[in-house]
A and B are shown apart, each in its own frame.
Chain A
Amino acid sequence: MAKIASSKIQSLPQAVSELVHDGDVVALEGFTHLIPFAAGHEIIRQGRRDLTLVRMTPDLVYDQMIGAGCASKLVFSWGGNPGVGSLHRMRDALGAGWPVPLQIEEHSHAGMANRYVAGASGLPFAVLRGYAGTELPEHTDTISTVTCPFTGEELAAVKALNPDVSIVHAQRADRAGNVQFWGILGVQKEAVLAAQRAIVTVEEIVDELTPVPGAVVLPSWVLDAVVVAPGGAAPSYAHGYYDRDNAAYKAWDKVSRDREAFSVWLKDLKENAS
């Protein structure tokens, strides 16, 4: 048993190379906290193409991946640089098709969260009391309605989301690859359990997972790869390890506004393996 479990611990290049393929539906989740930047950067370095990128809040990491030409479609509910402004690489891909055209599938936060819940639950759809009167359902074919069999009430139905691969970042794992994370939990547990394959990057490997109040533990048998990537969530943060680098979020605005400045950033990323 231990032998099988320990094989889950891999290097980041190996995990991305084996588990993320061109054309996959890929979710990198983390709600402001624990955003898997290192994994996103590795996907850029390995030159993945034609991905459908799924994320509730496509912020910097997806702006970078879109700008690098990894994505042909984005599934999301709020796309911006939180507290700073717009995602300029995303806008450039949507408006001008640079470097490649980008399609979108747009939801609300509640819609996206419930799509992951349905996916993780093994159900074809989820029900919520939302979207009524909004124009989103007209443009998004994964939003429909369903009639309650008990009350006759019409409710919104959203299609389950089952990514080919989900990637999240966590505080720590044990040597068998059981993962523990805490703080703002976002939708990471649901994204992992909804996916066909899952990669978790962690700050550190420990001998024993000491209990932490409110922490989530994902057992190694629901994961495909556990990767040690200290600082792997920066410039977002890892509660108890390091803070959010707000200056980096503000600085990204300038880099991303200009294709040339972005291209310099991209070249730099590709030449400097983490």
Chain B
Amino acid sequence: MMSVAASRALRDGQACFVGIGLPSTAANLARRLHAPDLVLIYESGTIGTEPDELPLSIGDGILAESALSVVSVPEIFNYWLQPGRIDVGFLSGAQIDRFGNINTTVIGEYAEPSVRLPGSGGAPEIAASCREVIVVMRQRLRAFVSQVDFVTSVGHGSGPGDRARLGLRGAGPVRVITDLGVLEPDPESAELVLTALHTGITIEQVHAETGWELEISPDLKITAPPTEKELSTLRGLKTVGAS
């Protein structure tokens, strides 16, 4: 459901900065369904790539072979991402807080972490520079926390106006898509509120997996279940080298 909901959030013709895993699945699904002209960009420097199969890594050969252009890593970050040429950035993380800040660095203290995570990669600049950011992650109590242990990528900072004060371009996280529903920042408080539940999920379930007093939108929607076509296309997506 999460991949399908994320794919629906992408519009045809947008330029989309894609990370591996769920974002890559969602973007490739969207390109096969309603957004054939979605421009997929991976941080390995492949622009306008059209892979037949899902890559296992952001630098798989299949991305370069089917790309409109392949550029160096300094170029993808300095010329393409930093000036705000990319419409949508897709992010995920180990923790997200009520203002959409994301942690992919450590759980616990930096010097003595209880879990060492992979680190930032391209995420801080994706969060800072894309016109908008969509976050895709499973909603679990340990991941949806009041405050992240480490700010790797800035969402809405500590509240309204923070992004502008920090000089960050782009709107930041406009939507957090989980396996339970959809959260969006409140225009006044910049705090995430529940705006949609996936079919069959209850508000109680969402509350149980959220580490802060999550507000519920007065216009709470129900996400339409996946269509047959969405499901069959999703099942048809094969990962490179899958056995």
> CB within 8 Å of B: which residues of A?
31-33, 56-57, 76-80, 82-84, 86, 90-91, 94-95, 106-110, 113-114, 116-117, 128-136, 139, 153-154, 183-187, 189-190, 214, 237, 239, 243-244, 246-247, 249
Contact = CB atoms under 8 A, between A and B. Distances in A.
Interface in B226-243: 240-241, 243
B138 to A, nearest CB: 16
B74 A153 contact: no
Nearest to B149: A135
Interface in B205-243: 240-241, 243
B64 A109 contact: no
Given A33-B59, A133-B162, 10 more contacts: A33-B61, A78-B118, A79-B119, A80-B118, A107-B120, A110-B78, A110-B122, A129-B128, A135-B110, A153-B167
A78 B120 contact: yes
Counting chain B CB atoms within 10 Å of each CB, which of A186, A243, A246 scores highest? Answer: A246
Contacts of A91: 116
Contacts of A133: 128, 151, 154, 157, 162-163, 166, 168
Nearest to A57: B121
30 contacts: A31-B45, A31-B73, A32-B57, A32-B58, A33-B44, A78-B122, A80-B119, A82-B20, A82-B56, A109-B121, A128-B82, A129-B82, A130-B125, A131-B124, A133-B166, A133-B168, A134-B120, A134-B124, A135-B151, A154-B167, A184-B61, A184-B70, A185-B45, A186-B72, A190-B72, A214-B70, A244-B61, A244-B240, A244-B241, A246-B240
B156 to A, nearest CB: 10
A79 to B, nearest CB: 5
B233 to A, nearest CB: 21
Nearest to B114: A95
Contacts of A117: 74, 78
A114 B74 contact: yes
Contacts of B184: none
Contact of A244 (B60, B73, B125, B154): B60
A130 B124 contact: yes
A91 B114 CA distance: 11
B46 interface: yes
Contact of B119 (A31, A77, A130, A190): A77
Counting chain A CB atoms within 10 Å of each CB, which of B44, B119, B122 scores highest? Answer: B119
Contact of A108 (B44, B70, B123): B123
Interface of B: 20-21, 43-46, 55-61, 63-64, 70-74, 77-78, 81-82, 105, 110, 116, 118-125, 128-129, 150-154, 157, 162-163, 166-169, 240-241, 243
Nearest to B168: A132
Contacts of A132: 128, 154, 166-168
A82 B58 CA distance: 8
Nearest to B163: A133
A243 B240 CA distance: 11
Contacts of A106: 105, 119-120
Contacts of B82: 110, 128-130
Contacts of A154: 167
A31 B64 CA distance: 12
A78 B118 CA distance: 5
B168 A185 contact: no
Contacts of B60: 32, 244
A31 B122 CA distance: 13
Counting chain B CB atoms within 10 Å of each CB, which of A133, A135, A246 scores highest? Answer: A133
A244 B61 CA distance: 7
Can you list the 9 inter-chain pairs with the closest CB atoms, starting with the nearest?
A: A32-B59, A246-B241, A82-B57, A78-B121, A80-B118, A133-B154, A83-B56, A110-B77, A113-B74
Contacts of B105: 106, 135-136
A183 to B, nearest CB: 5
